[in-house]
Each structure stands twice: as structure tokens, then as C-alpha cells.
Amino acid sequence: MRDYDEVTTFLGEWGPFQRLIFFLLSASIIPNGFNGMSVVFLAAAPEHRCRVPDTANLSRAWRNHSIPLRLLDGREVPHSCRRYRLAAIANFSALGLEPGRDVDLEQLEQESCVDGWEFSQDVYLSTIVTEWSLVCEDDWKTPLTSSLFFVGVLLGSFVSGQLSDRFGRKSILFATMAVQTGFSFLQIFSINWEMFTVLFVIVGMGQISNYVVAFILGTEILGKSVRIIFSTLGVCTFFAVGYMLLPLFAYFIRDWRMLLLALTVPGVLCLPLWWFIPESPRWLISQRRFSEAESIIQKAAKMNNIAAPRVIFDPMEELKLPGQQKVLILDLFRTRNIATITIMSLLLWMLTSVGYFALSLNAPNLHGDAYLNCFLSALIEVPAYITAWLLLRRLPRRYIIAGVLFLGGGVLLLIQFIPADYNFLSIGLVMLGKFGITSAFSMLYVFTAELYPTPVRNMAVGVTSMASRVGSIIAPYFVYLGAYNRVLPYIVMGSLTVFIGIITLFFPESFGMTLPETLEQMQKVKGFRFRKKPRDSVEKEENPKVLITSF
């Protein structure tokens, strides 16, 4: 029995074939970047106020004072959801009374925006908020739109791996790419908010499935040394490139339907990659399709100018491929130690995800140019990924993850002390917070994989990464807190980030340690003492008499 990597060693690690696969698969991630964050412009809420019909018989003075004022962040601004009762101020206008001089405005009766709203077009010509009036009583629909997209992401996480195992990596990669692009195009023709959000859920399913399958295909085709760079810098950096393209598209296209149309074009341009990206030879071998796998390796050898053996995969010889041992979700809670590590890992993934997505979704709401702020939010991810990669090579995991979380959470807590006039300083602190949280987020896959033993490693990474999807679903509501107080989202996010940074210090250290092969080899949680159990109790835990379906 020979290892697949051993059989294909003659190809080398970084020839023209590997470089082509590296950059084409990374490029296929670019549409995921702007589709994943497009909601920040599609569902942006411009400044608005109640509409006063032109037919209303009001003097100029009363028309200018038809909207009551409210206090927002220490400033008086026109109310977005209330106006003075139109019939009353029309009577005062007809009697020749002046607002403020003859009539005390604070005593006037108010009413809701029964005639609709007037939306500012200074920043956005149209969004789904202006299209379907998702403000005031319906403003809850805006964060729900983002949350439902991430519900689609969660659902896609469930099915993407299973579909690619059943039908092949390449087929599902391009099928999900078509789903993401096609349903984004259909959103253009949405006639109401309900239709838009249902399609958005499907776009979310395609988005994450495309990302996951490209990740799997790359790690299966590329060699060991390149695999690590691809899974950290390659995939993440090209996602950030797509994210950076989003505000550039949105800056020049201010109508949400036209913006969606423009965002589908790169997805269409990715379809010709079908003729350049091969199927995974590992998957073909697992399906006993040896001749197809050999043909791909022969073409790769020819591209790399390397002479390939006449027979690469002998159907009579069994190749050693990573096995899929059946494990149960209960295995992640079998002992008190592994249960503690699992609960801490779930919190770490979920709260880090909340910070990352809340800061990303809130970027256009910062003071100043919404497009520039979104671009900076995307740009800061590139040095964050590079920093994470460099730190992972040299330093202990729990200290560097806790350190960047303390950095991110600490600067977010400082924002509440910055005067409102120092906007550039506030934006700088937000970007520094995004840098810290993004760095931590990109390290979690490696850290989690190193903590758990081989039989439950894939299960652990899958369960904890799904906790991050839950974090992304609730993240829009942290942004929603900004409607009540400008700094409240940063206080909450900063506190939770510092809290999870403290929790990280209690994890066992994995840097420089041999990967555990059994549950017994897992290191103990720092600062906790577990009472030694009687032998018969341990045996019951190691052989639990509980029936539970496979996760």
C-alpha cells in the first residue's frame, strides 16, 4: 500500500501545473468576496424623512417645520419616522400662524409617515431599502436580509462536502458557481422583499459551497508545502481582493439592480475555467476511475516538462488515501476535558465570527465616505492574513490568537472615549480592530485542527466552523444597535472579543506538539483540574451506550 503523495512525488511541488491550479482556484474565489459582502450596499439605508405631499396646503414656513427634531449623538436632526399631524399644521398655516412664534411645536400632535418617505440620493440612487421602504416599522427587515444570507451559508456548509464527495469536486465547483451567479442575476427581477431574500438564501448556499469545494480541490491537487500556503494566503487573500472590488463597483454604479448585474459578470467570466481546472485525481481514484486520474497526472507531468512513469496508478495496487472513519458528535464531549475544549472552541469561533462580520457589515456606516471605508475594511484583511501566517510559523498558538484578540477588542473599547469630531481616529481604531479580529479568525482552522485527535479532527473543525456561521447570522443585529447609540456596537463587540481572548489563554498549547492520535493523547485545559475517575467510569465514557446519528 503506497501513499498518493508518494506516488506523485515526481511531479514536484511548484511547477507550471501547480502554479496554474493555485492561481485559477484562487481566482475562482474572487466572486465570493463581493457576493458575501454585497448586502452592505444593496441594503444600505440612506437618510430619510416623512414625505409631505406637494398637494398639502402649507406655507413655506410650515413646510420647513413639518418634521419634528430628535436628539441623535448629541445633535438635533430631523426625525426619520414621524411628522407633525398634517391636518393640524394645515389649519395653522391657513390661519396665518407662524411655527415657533405663534405655535409651540413641542405641543403639536405627531403622526407616522402615512404618505411614505423621501430618501436622500446623495450617496445611493436606490437600494432595496428605498425600493420597498424598509425603514421605521419595517427596519427589522434590513438586518434580517443579511442574516438570511448567512442562513444560506450555513445550509450550504452542510451539503457542499457531501455533494462533492458524491458527484466530484470539479462538477460541484462549477455547479455552485453557476448557482451563485444565476440566482444573483435573478435577484435583479425581484418584485418584493420576500422574493429578494429567498433568492439571497440560495445565493448564500452557492457562495459557501463554491468556496469550500475550491478549497478541497486545491488541497487535494497541490503538494504538502504548497497546500498550506493555498489554504491560508491563497484562498483568503483572493477573497479579500473580491471584497475590495465591491466598493469600486458600488462607487460607479449607485442603483442596486445595476450593481447586482455588474457583480454577476465576474462569475460568468469564471465559467471558461472549466477547460483549465481538472478533476481531483484523489477523488477519481476513490471512485476507481484510475485511467482518468492517470491522464490528469500525465498532462501535469507534460506541463512541468517531467517524464512520467508509464504506469502511475496500478488498479491492482491499493493506494493509501485519507480514510473517512465514522465518528459521532458525542465523541466531542466524551470526556470532561474534550467537552471543555469543545465548548471553548465553539465560543471562540462564534464570537470571533460576530466581530469579523459585524465590523465588515458596519464599515459603510462609519463617518465619511462609505465606499472608501468599505475599501479600507477589505484592504486591512491582506496584512492581517500575512501577519497570521507569519505568526503561526514561529509562535505559540494560544498566545498569538489571544494577543490579536486583545488588540482587536481593546481598540474597539477605546472608540467610546474618542470625541465625535475626531472621526479619522475612530475609523483608524475600527480598522485596527478589524485587523486583530481578522488575524485571529484566519488562525482558527489551524489551531482547531491541531488540538483534536485524528478520529474526530474533521468533525471538530466542521462543528466549530458551523458555530462561526451562527455568529455571522447574529452579527447584523450588532450593527443594528448603532441605530440607538453610535458607539454601542463597539462596546459590545469589544467586550466580547476581550472576553474570548481571555478564554483562549485556557486552551492547551499545540505549537511544536505532535498531533494527537487518540482522545487520551489530547492535552489538558490550562487552569482546570479534572478529578481522576474510577476505571469502570472511564470505560463507560470510552464506550458510551448512547445511540446517536452521524453528524
Residue 187 has pLDDT above 90, yes or no: yes
In the chain, % helix, strand, coil (3-state, to 5) comes to: 65, 5, 30
Cα separations in angstroms, 550 against 158, 335, 449, 546: 13, 19, 20, 12
Fold of 1-37+128-324: Growth Hormone; Chain: A; (1.20.1250)
Burial of 258 (0-12, 13-18, 19+ CB in 10 A): middle
| pLDDT for position 497 | 93
Share of residues in the chain with pLDDT > 70 (%): 87
Please report the pLDDT score of residue 326 as a whole number: 57
205-209, 303-307, 359-363: range with lowest mean pLDDT:
303-307
Q: How far is CA 291 from CA 103, 125, 311, 391, 434, in A?
A: 89, 56, 10, 42, 48
Q: How far apart (Å, rounded) are the C-alpha atoms in residues 346 and 307?
A: 48
Return all residues near 190 (Cβ < 8 A) that are at least 6 apart: 128, 196, 199
pLDDT-based confidence at 73, cuts 50/70/90? low
Q: Measured between alpha carbons, how far is 336 from 530 in angstroms, rounded to an integer?
A: 7
Q: How confident is the model at residue 92 (pLDDT cuts 50, 70, 90)?
A: confident
d(CA 115, CA 58): 15
Q: Which three cell numbers stand for residue 3?
A: 501513499
| Res. 124: pLDDT tops 60 | yes
Q: Which three cell numbers stand for residue 297?
A: 497526472
Q: What is the mean pLDDT of residues 428-454?
A: 86
Q: Do domains 1-37+128-324 and 326-528 have the same CATH topology?
A: yes
The fold adopted by the segment(s) 326-528 is Growth Hormone; Chain: A; (1.20.1250)
Round to whole Å and give the CA distance between 477 and 202. Answer: 21
Between residues 223 and 93, which one has the greater pLDDT? Answer: 93
**DSSP structure string for 384-440:** HHHHHHHHHHHS-HHHHHHHHHHHHHHHHHHGGGS-TT-HHHHHHHHHHHHHHHHHH
Three-class SS of residue 49?
A: strand
Residues paired with 83 in a beta bridge: 111
Give me the residues paired with residue 320 across strands. Answer: 3
Q: Quick one: pLDDT at residue 537?
A: 40
pLDDT bucket at 391, cuts 50 / 70 / 90: confident
CA distance 48 to 63: 16
| Residue type present at position 455 | P
Q: Which pLDDT belongs to residue 545?
A: 33
Per-residue pLDDT tens over the stretch 285-296? 777 777 887 788
Check residue 527 and give its pLDDT: 59
What is the residue extent of each domain of the chain? 1-37+128-324, 48-119, 326-528
Give the per-residue pLDDT at 517. Answer: 64
DSSP 109: -
Residue 148 has pLDDT above 90, yes or no: yes
In this structure, of 40-54, 254-268, 407-421, 521-535, the range with the lowest mean pLDDT score is 521-535
Q: Pairing between strand 319-320 and 2-3? A: parallel
Q: For residue 317, what pLDDT is reported? A: 53
Look-up of cell digits 498558538: 397
- State yes or no: pLDDT of 242 exceeds 70: yes
Q: What is the pLDDT of residues 175-185, one digit of tens each?
A: 888 888 999 99
Mean pLDDT within 42-58: 87
CA neighbor of 448 nearest in space, from 522, 385, 391: 522
Cα distance between residue 352 and residue 361, in whole Å:
14
pLDDT band at 313 (very low <50, low <70, confident <90, very high): low
How confident is the model at residue 469, as a pLDDT? 87
Note the pLDDT of residue 532. Answer: 45
pTM to 2 decimal places: 0.81
Q: What is the DSSP string of 78-98?
A: E-SSEEE-HHHHHHHHHTTPP
Which of 31, 28, 41 is CA-nearest to residue 258? 41
Residues 6+ apart with CB under 8 A from 178: 206, 271
Best-predicted range by mean pLDDT (7-21, 23-37, 124-138, 357-371) = 124-138
